[in-house]
Chain A
Amino acid sequence: MATSTVGANGEKPPPFERIVAEHGPLISRIAMSYEADPGLREDLTQQIFLAVWQALPSYRADASLKTFIARIAQNRAISFVAKQVRLPPTAEMPEIIEDDRPSPEQNAIEADERSILLEATRRLPLPQREVIILVLEGFDYSEIADMLEIAPNALALRLSRAKAALKAMLERGG
């Protein structure tokens, strides 16, 4: 499971620029999994950065900084989606995601796989999407249960339902 390099031991949060360097990709992935439209996604990303900037002084290091940021990003994204008048899009442009690994074929396969995964995740109901994103982001189950303030068995139940829904989406090809 991925862990944050800062947080949990009571130290102060690092400067905003470093947070962006360390946790920017997490914020970007969360924005991507809630909003397919590139223009609206940029708007959502800005809102998440602003929310993190505003909430940073209240960070008390009782959880890792990564947990703190993921929680803010998810809440802002859910609130953003809830305010949209339109329904979530059903036909979306596929994401083209590049990476710097050596094999272009491998890149293409993984980018395609990620694109399908992203699209499938976007179609999940919000409560299930939230839990799947946290698992995919590498949080362990106790961190997720703390974040959602639910008992471990309730989390297991929600995760099972979310996995079943994701599986169904992936079988449909996203």
Chain B
Amino acid sequence: MIDDIDLDRLGDVWRQQPDPAEMARLRKTAAIVSRRARWGQLFDVVAAVAVAAVVIYLALSNPSRGTLGVSAILILILLWTQQRQRRLRAIEIKKLTGTSEEMLDQSLEQAEAVLKRTRSQLLFSPPAFVFGLALAALADRESADRLWEHISSIGSGQPIAVIALAWLPAFILYSLMKIRSQRRQVERLAALRDAYRAERDANIEDLPQADV
């Protein structure tokens, strides 16, 4: 039976310095991580500049109203993407540097948003797929007949038709699996957040007698 635990002494045991081999391994891991992160950052900048340069080149080489309009839209999308990435990074940093409870609240919020989005995608994508086919058939009866011929000849060397038809069940299956795992994730995060709240709201009566 341990009388009481001496946290100062346990702290000394806990804070033993790692051996040189372990320290070398840590340094190596950190070096790999920071190198990857720097390259990632550089790649993001280079990719954004390259896309912007291509768009500007295409607009200037064929300066019609349509090209300029499309180029302006592409540049706006590019700027919006950059801005969004910056905002997401800021949210992530806030999450990392806040309290654990705040971090769990934000993680839970994000997990619930992903769950909601996946459910909506599952709900709307199959009807949208069928609606798209129906719309194509209405717009051009001839091409709809051709599409039907393609679909009818599945199995006799029409890989595009096979892929097109396999997409729908594959998407539904993938979405169902994602919903299941995301729901579990939400449950785990909610349980953890509740554990933190319970700890915060604990009363003095909950203490073991020896500690009161």
Contact = CB atoms under 8 A, between A and B. Distances in A.
Nearest to A167: B5
B103 A164 contact: no
Contact of A76 (B15, B19, B29, B96): B96
Interface string A132-174: 1001111000000001111000100110110110110011000
A85 interface: yes
Interface in A103-149: 110, 113-114, 117, 125-128, 130, 132, 135-138, 147-149
Interface string A55-78: 100100000000010011011101
A148 B99 contact: yes
Contact of B26 (A45, A82, A160, A164): A45
Interface in B141-173: none
B204 A157 contact: yes
Interface of A: 2, 16-17, 20-21, 24-25, 27-29, 42, 45-46, 49-51, 53-55, 58, 68, 71-72, 74-76, 78-79, 82-83, 85, 97-100, 110, 113-114, 117, 125-128, 130, 132, 135-138, 147-150, 154, 157-158, 160-161, 163-164, 166-167, 170-171
Contacts of B14: 29, 114, 117, 136-137
Shortest 7 CB-CB contacts between residues of A and residues of B: A127-B199, A136-B14, A160-B211, A20-B30, A24-B26, A49-B33, A164-B208
9 contacts: A20-B26, A51-B96, A54-B96, A82-B185, A85-B181, A117-B13, A125-B199, A164-B208, A171-B1
Interface in B174-193: 181, 184-185, 188-189, 192
A21 B26 CA distance: 9
B177 to A, nearest CB: 13
Contact of A149 (B11, B23, B99, B107): B99
Task: Count chain A CB atoms within 10 A of each CB in B30, B89, B92, B206 and give the residue with the most.
Answer: B30
B200 interface: yes
A17 B26 CA distance: 11
Given A46-B29, A137-B14, 18 more contacts: A17-B27, A24-B27, A29-B15, A45-B26, A49-B34, A54-B92, A58-B97, A72-B96, A78-B100, A83-B185, A83-B188, A98-B19, A110-B16, A114-B14, A158-B200, A161-B206, A161-B208, A171-B2
Contacts of B17: 25, 99-100
A82 B210 CA distance: 32
A79 B107 contact: yes
B7 A135 contact: yes
B11 A135 contact: yes
Interface in B2-38: 2, 4-5, 7, 10-11, 13-20, 22-23, 26-27, 29-34, 36-37
